Structure 1
Amino acid sequence: MALVPYEGPGGLRHFHQPLAAFSFADRAIRIRQNWRQLGVAAVVWDAAVVLSAYLETGAVELQGHTVLELGAGTGLVGIVAALLGAHVTITDRKVALDFLKANVEANLPPDIQPRAVIKELTWGQNLGLFPPGEWDLILGADIVYLEETFEDLLHTLEHLSGLHSVILLACRIRYERDQAFLAMLGQLFTVTKVYYDPERDVYIYRAQKRLPTEDL
């Protein structure tokens, strides 16, 4: 299935630039992009920029906390979380790992790099390698777009999160199926919209497992 993402009037031109430059956590961040080689996994999406900016506001505690990023792609969100003091596990499919690792190592100072671990994670597979409930914060930027991945993504989120874990998903609501995913998520978690960027048309949703008594 071909994926042609909606990116507004500017189209996809900026995805073909070899570098994308940002400033987060008082540091210049330069992310290498390679749309031609890896497609959607190798470019910086607006949702990643919005989620990184949201983390920078201090809306969630990062210093010393454990964070896991799903579908990290270029690694921008995980890089920002590490710069802000988190211990981050940055994950994606095997095909994207070398590219992801290069961006992480290029943008994290040597003293911070030990706090960022890169691991393979294909949703719904080999979840036993990731102890359930280990992470304080689970992040995903623009990972809600392929309907055939929704069940595996939900299963992965359910496995990874404990009652204390907070999930933050940044996404653009493009189609009815995206709303359907949020409805599916709401069957397992308490879901609230915590932020909206009107310029980029990106929402951030917070999800957290319900206490057993909440389902009675």
Structure 2
Amino acid sequence: MALVPYDGEGIGIQKFHKPLATYTFANRTIQIRQDWKQLGVAAVVWDAAVVLCTYLEMGAFNLQGCSAVELGAGTGLVGIVAALLGAHVTITDREIALEFLKSNVQANLPQDLYPKAVVKELTWGQNLGNFSPGNFDLILGADIIYLEETFLDLLQTLEHLCGDRSVILLSCRIRYERDYDFLKMLGKHFTVHEVHYDLEKDVHIYKAHRRSHKEDL
């Protein structure tokens, strides 16, 4: 989402400078164009996105016909995989990244699935009026909680998008104490559980939903 300097992943940083990253999900080869030089963190595939795609492919959530939204989509890998698995997906990021995002979506979805994937501008906390509140079954985010200055806007966005039956799936590597701080903030408004951990990639997936009245008692 945020086009800012980033400290990277150590030795693995070289993979971000490759123009193409290739994956296999939903029985399809997906080629994601990357552009670190022009768009930085918004234009490379992070491990959290790969782990979330794997988790979705495992059938953790029934995507057939569900309404999903991806926040801070960057390259669009997660949204593309969700569409291939049967979801109607709104794939979002800031305006500056949209053309790049659209190019990856169009290159990796067969034409008959184009109507299932809409690329749309969303700046957290700002243009929420363009999205019907509580309209999504599933809200997806991969590596979107690393910038402390975006936490309140992200939380406001999640509250707007999340209905009583919505499920939030956030995939992330915990790098700093502030990452835990966001999870604590999230826990004040939602019920949050860790549902998956990829040891090899050191990536956690957290599932959240609105607290019911019974849970508040």
Q: TM-score, normalised by structure 1?
A: 0.97
Please tell me the residue identity of whatever aligns with 1:7: E
1:25-73 deviations in whole A, cap 9, x for unaligned? 0000000000000000000000000000000000101000000000000
In structure 2, distance between residues paired with 1:66 and 1:4: 32
In structure 1, distance between residues paired with 2:8 and 2:203: 12
Count, aligned residues:
215
In structure 2, distance between residues paired with 1:65 and 1:4: 34
Specify whether residues 2 and 99 from structure 1 end up closer, same or farther in structure 2 by C-alpha distance, changes over 3 A only. closer
1:105 and 2:115 equivalent? no
SS at match of 1:11: helix
2:6 equivalent in structure 1: 4
Contact 1:6–1:174 (CA<8 Å) still a contact in 2? no
Please tell me the residue identity of whatever aligns with 1:38: L
1:17 equivalent in structure 2: 18
Specify whether residues 195 and 125 from structure 1 end up closer, same or farther in structure 2 by C-alpha distance, changes over 3 A only. same
Please tell me the residue identity of whatever aligns with 2:9: E
In structure 2, distance between residues paired with 1:51 and 1:36: 25
1:79 equivalent in structure 2: 80
Map 1:40-55 → 2, pairs under 5 A: 40-55=41-56
Specify whether residues 123 and 2 from structure 1 end up closer, same or farther in structure 2 by C-alpha distance, changes over 3 A only. closer
In structure 2, distance between residues paired with 1:5 and 1:212: 42
Contact 2:139–2:168 (CA<8 Å) still a contact in 1? yes
SS at match of 2:22: strand
1:166 equivalent in structure 2: 167
Contact 2:4–2:41 (CA<8 Å) still a contact in 1? no
In structure 1, distance between residues paired with 2:163 and 2:12: 39
Give 1:146 shift: 0.3
In structure 1, distance between residues paired with 2:181 and 2:65: 35
Give 1:215 shift: 2.4
1:207 equivalent in structure 2: 208
Give 1:214 shift: 2.6
2:134 equivalent in structure 1: 133
1:121 equivalent in structure 2: 122
Please tell me the residue identity of whatever aligns with 1:90: I
Contact 1:63–1:85 (CA<8 Å) still a contact in 2? yes
2:27 equivalent in structure 1: 26
Please, which runs of 5 or more residues in structure 2 have no aligned partner? none
1:83-130 deviations in whole A, cap 9, x for unaligned? 000000000000000000000000000001110000000000111110
2:194 equivalent in structure 1: 193
Please tell me the residue identity of whatever aligns with 1:149: T
Contact 1:87–1:116 (CA<8 Å) still a contact in 2? yes
Contact 2:33–2:104 (CA<8 Å) still a contact in 1? yes
Please, which runs of 5 or more residues in structure 1 have no aligned partner? none
Contact 2:5–2:40 (CA<8 Å) still a contact in 1? no
In structure 1, distance between residues paired with 2:27 and 2:109: 12
Please tell me the residue identity of whatever aligns with 1:33: Q
Specify whether residues 86 and 2 from structure 1 end up closer, same or farther in structure 2 by C-alpha distance, changes over 3 A only. closer
Give 1:2 shift: 5.4
